[in-house]
Amino acid sequence: RKEVEQDPGPFNVPEGATVAFNCTYSNSASQSFFWYRQDCRKEPKLLMSVYSSGNEDGRFTAQLNRASQYISLLIRDSKLSDSATYLCAVISLKLIFGAGTRLAVHP
Amino acid sequence: DADVTQTPRNRITKTGKRIMLECSQTKGHDRMYWYRQDPGLGLRLIYYSFDVKDINKGEISDGYSVSRQAQAKFSLSLESAIPNQTALYFCATSDQSKGETIDTQYFGPGTRLTVL
């Protein structure tokens, strides 16, 4: 079993839709959690950190469920520009990335 | 100007050749990393360095070596390239700020390496 797993997608959604991705992790001692965004052929960039209490940044909401060992990313009112691959990352003893979930927003 | 730069951006080479990928950063960060990215496998850590005198193996270090020439420079070498080292390579930096536990990675633009 991979230490960090994501549904590869693609998630194909229309503009304005709400979409959510989950990312599961296997190490219960994991301490820090992140969502990165990666555009095609570009470098990953930090989208947001995930705090225990959950956090929101505009249309994006990240949540942590320690009991079930997953983090989630919710995107409301999807825009065409949200089309990208979303990578989760988890720190236990080291930083481990998931393989990413691809989102395609269409008109 | 980019904070983390990588050279070359693209490279095609032949099996058995020695290749060096270079990374420079102007962020003043102590920590630097090399990752490779393959479809379906995500980013995997090759080597990392927490300061100039510190080198650590990552998840997949076999076939690679690194050199931390200065705080701002971290190079990755493939001593004898093989086709399964064809991948997208990213350098990254981070800075564990005082009082913070979060270790955010800042990535360079990547080097696309093809080994024939």
The pLDDT of residue B101 is above 70:
no
The pLDDT of residue B102 is above 70:
no
Beta carbons of B103 and A94 less than 8 Å apart: no
Q: What is the DSSP letter of A91?
A: E
Can you point out the beta strands (E) in A1-107? Answer: 4-6, 11-14, 19-25, 32-38, 45-50, 55-57, 60-65, 70-75, 84-91, 95-97, 101-106
Q: Kindly report, residue by residue over B24-61, the tens digit of the pLDDT.
A: 999 899 899 999 999 888 899 999 998 898 999 998 99
CB A77 within 8 A of CB A23: no
Nearest CB to B42 within list A31, A94, A99: A99
pLDDT of residue A94: 79
Residues B63-87 have a mean pLDDT of 96
SS3 content of chain B, % helix, strand, coil (to 5): 5, 50, 45
pLDDT of residue B2: 64
Percentage of chain B beyond pLDDT 70 is 92
Report the gap between the CA of B90 and the closest CA in chain A (Å): 7
Q: Closest by alpha carbon to B64, among B82, B46, B51?
A: B46
pLDDT of residue A24: 96
User: What averages of pLDDT result for each successive group of 10 residues across chain A (107 residues)?
Assistant: 89 97 92 93 92 91 95 97 96 87 96
pLDDT of residue A41: 84
Question: What b/e readout covers A77-97, taking b as 16+ CB neighbours within 10 angstroms?
Answer: ebeeebbbbbbbbbbbeebbb
Residues B97-114 have a mean pLDDT of 78
Choosing among B43, B59, B94, which should be mutated to test the A contact, i.e. which has the most A CBs within 10 A? B43
- Computed over every residue of chain B, the mean pLDDT equals 91
pLDDT of residue B97: 60
CB A6 within 8 A of CB A29: no
Distance CA A26, CA A5 (A): 9
CB A97 within 8 A of CB A3: no
- For residue B58, the chain A residue with the least C-alpha distance is A94
pLDDT of residue B107: 95
- Binning pLDDT at 50, 70 and 90, where does residue B114 land? very high
pLDDT of residue A98: 94
| Residues of B whose CB is below 8 A from A49 | 102, 104
**Is A44 an interface residue toward B (CB < 8 Å)?**
yes
pLDDT of residue B1: 55
